[in-house]
Structure 1
């Protein structure tokens, strides 16, 4: 799992900087007291071992409250995939990993690194 580019963000400015500096980003919006968030994080980390060019950004919605309004987050966890700062898709609350993996794989394989 060492090849995962994982970053925990503590401000909306840091999030904006990450989106500007990385072409493909998976944003994971969670909260500390969310049991679903804690349950899917290891699965996400495992999934992303197959995609070394994806920057994985984790944000706590209660610590960085601006993320909720900026990205219209209605529940946690929420996953948003960006390419060149444009949202490609999002998954919320109940993440279907097979579907998520298919979408990530399709996008990842369509990009020339």
Structure 2
């Protein structure tokens, strides 16, 4: 199976921790590659929807400790748009075993998003 990973700098969000910044390009590949399930939250600083949604996603992820959550500022990492075909923000990309599995953009219904994550999580983690 040929897996394509995208290189970019990003921040990883750990439960109950502040954002940790990474500047190594290879870290973007690693979060997707090294974890059965990972989520990238892509936003911009001037996006009010992004600022309202990110805390909700962080709170939701507390129920899924095995899921690794990364945050990408699309203004700082402009190549993210081309790498993941991003046309708007916020975008939530869910990866399962290195492959994009779910994509939510702009207006995200958290109840439905939670159902999708829960289904994936139960199938992978048990």
Shared fold (TM-score greater than 0.5)? yes
Aligned pair in 2 of structure 1 residues 7, 78: CA closer, same or farther (>3 Å)? farther
Runs of 4+ in 1 over 6 A off after TM superposition: none
Q: Which residue of 2 aligns with 1:101?
A: 114
Q: Which residue of 1 aligns with 2:95?
A: 82
Aligned pair in 2 of structure 1 residues 88, 82: CA closer, same or farther (>3 Å)? same
Unaligned runs of at least 5 residues, structure 2? 1-13
Q: Which residue of 2 aligns with 1:17?
A: 30
- Shift in Å, 1:74: 0.6
CA distance in 2, matches of 1:4, 1:106: 24
- Shift in Å, 1:42: 1.1
Contact 1:12 1:67 in 2 (8 A): no
**What do you get for the CA RMSD once the two structures are aligned?**
2.0
Unaligned runs of at least 5 residues, structure 1? none
Q: Which residue of 1 aligns with 2:74?
A: 61
Give the structure-2-normalised TM-score: 0.80
